[in-house]
Structure 1
Amino acid sequence: NYGKYIIGDIFTNEINKYLLRKIKNFKLENFNPKEEKKEIEKKIQEGAEIFGIFQTQPHKASVPRKKPDIIEIKISNGDSPNEAFNLAFKNLGKEIRVRDVFKLGELIDVVAITKGKGFQGPVKRFGITILSRKNSKA
């Protein structure tokens, strides 16, 4: 087996009503996070990476949108994957603020994927306006 693969998923029991705006028909029935934690702890090996799936809270900010963004973030706490997994399980279903993760003035590295519109002209790239046909009168 090469590459990354999933050894398990753990969900919180309290599903946020704002998350249901983004993901339709999301139901968890008879799901016990503590039993899943025991199963995953047995499978975690050295070199494993722990990722969390987080949602933003646009309803708390003054932005005109209701659907949250869903983000996958790698959790790295210490050297071992078990420490990262325990941190993720401890914060499962809780609100995590920026000040809980970063210190004031700390530099961060942000990587993203663009929509990728290919090779485009200046109208689409820079948003310039196309002038009307009879714009310049001599």
Structure 2
Amino acid sequence: MARRKHSAPRRGSLGVRPRKRASRLVPRIKSWPQVDFDTPRPLAFLGYKAGMTHVIVIDDRPGRRTYGQEIFVPVTVIETPPMIPVAARFYEATVHGFKTLTELWVDPPESLQIWRRVKTLSVDEDHRERVMRKIEANINNVARVALLLASQPTLTGGLSKKVPDIIEVKIGGGDIKSQIEYALNILGKEIKITDVFNPGQFIDVIGVTKGKGFQGVIKRFGVKELPRWHKHRKGSRRIGSRSPGIGALSTVPQPGQMGFHRRTEYNKRIIMIGSNGYEITPAGGFPHYGIVRSDYIVLAGTVQGPPKRPIVLRWPIRPPKWTPEGPPKVVYVSLESKI
């Protein structure tokens, strides 16, 4: 009887089940880090993936063989136009978790076209007064303050859509009263990427991967292809035995959806942050995206998803022990055509 002669790791990870399509294109942030800022600031930002290029930097990581030398680093460019806080949400802590106490909406600028996303938004003159009275009456019960940030895709160079994407972002730093004051003062004003992150630091990247559709077990799990012998009449690009007579186990590789999964990548380092997109756009523009026209952020390594995919950038929830003093010195940025 055929059997494996030596032990081997199982094919495919069980840590990312179920392998199904993401429920939303713009991911919802489920966990937030504990920070100790002196002043309040948002803990996340939204951008749109433009593409990849490469840079040459001076390695500033102590203990590395290449410390102080020029190294080649592949980078991902994410366009991050300013975001506008359209609402502030206040939570209270209960035995069942955080529950919404109240929320304050503002009438955003007409250029944002928020009506394309929120159909029932009606902000009257008494709305702010009612919310403020409720906050003052429950000031000791407020346990968390968050902002609803709306993106401005019309400011980008690679997107043709007008509908803004809205994400909920927690405010970190300071005490609760300073967070409430910050949220009330920032409503309706623009927040830039430099107000949230600093060049050189590490961040987490949350997004939806590139979709591959319905795939078989060879591509989906990387199982071994069986011999194509004439007596193996049941096929080669499949598993040998799916299950015993009791029924198939959930751990057995089977065909199904591959890609378009929500994934979080930890500790991506910010190489540089800029406001002039033409400084980072290669000749002919990024493939399938175009020209970066607004603020941008450059991350070391790759980022999940195709071009134009919304990417959520969050403060690191499990940062490394080494904290950079600043960004590495960039010697060269490749602006050659990527087409």
TM-score (norm 2): 0.32
Conserved? CA contact 1:13–1:31, under 8 Å: no
Question: Following TM superposition, by how much is the alpha carbon of 1:46 offset from its aligned partner in structure 2, in angstroms?
Answer: 6.4
Q: 1:111 Cα shift?
A: 4.1
Distance 1:105 1:37, change over 3 A: farther
Gaps in structure 1 of 5+ consecutive residues? 127-138
Is 2:219 the partner of 1:125? Answer: no
1:22 equivalent in alignment to 2:155: no
Q: Counterpart of 1:10 in structure 2: which amino acid? A: L
Query: Structure 1, residues 23-61: CA drift from partner, whole Å, max 9, x if none?
Result: 223222233425523431431336701111110000011
Give the fraction of aligned pairs with identical amino acids, expressed as a percent.
Answer: 26
Q: Relative to structure 1, is the Cα distance of residues 69 and 81 closer, same or farther in structure 2, using a 3 angstrom cutoff?
A: same
Pair 1:104-2:237 in alignment? no
AA aligned to 1:67 is V
Counterpart contact for 1:51–1:73, Cα < 8 Å: yes
The 8 Å contact of residues 45 and 81 in structure 1, kept in 2 or not, is answered as no
Count of residues in Structure 1 that have an aligned counterpart in Structure 2: 122
Q: Deviation digits for residues 75-100 of structure 1, max 9, x if unmatched?
A: 1122x221111111110110100012
Q: Which amino acid aligns with 2:190?
A: E
**2:198 aligned with 1:65:** no
How much is the aligned-residue C-alpha RMSD, in angstroms? 2.9
* Equivalent pair of 1:20/1:26 in contact (CA under 8 Å): yes
- Higher normalized helix content (fraction of residues): 1
Q: Could you say what secondary structure the match of 2:200 adopts?
A: coil
**What amino acid does structure 1 have at the position aligned with 2:115?**
L
User: 102-111 or 19-28, which moves further after superposition?
Assistant: 102-111
The CA distance in 1 between the partners of 2:126 and 2:205, in whole Å, is 34
CA displacement at 1:14 relative to structure 2: 3.6
1:26-65 alignment, distance < 5 Å: 26-33=121-128, 36-45=131-140, 48-62=143-157, 63-65=159-161
Instruction: Determine which of 152, 157, 178 is the counterpart of 1:83.
Output: 178
Which has the bigger relative contact order, CA under 8 A and spacing at least 6?
2
Q: Is the 8 A contact 1:77 1:87 kept in 2?
A: no
- State the AA in 1 paired with 2:102: G
Partner AA of 1:56 in structure 2 = S
Partner letter of residue 104 of structure 2?
Answer: I
Query: Does the CA contact (< 8 Å) of 1:59 and 1:65 recur in 2?
Result: yes
In 2, Cα distance between equivalents of 1:87 and 1:64: 33
Provide closer, same or farther for how the CA distance between residues 31 and 106 of structure 1 changes in structure 2, counting only shifts above 3 A.
farther
Residue 170 of structure 2 aligns to a residue in which SS?
strand
Match of 1:6 in 2: 100
TM-score by length of 1: 0.71
Tell me if 1:74 matches 2:170: yes
Q: Does the C-alpha gap of structure 1 residues 32 and 15 become closer, same or farther in structure 2, counting only changes over 3 Å?
A: farther
- Unaligned 5+ segments in structure 2 are 1-93, 221-256, 260-339
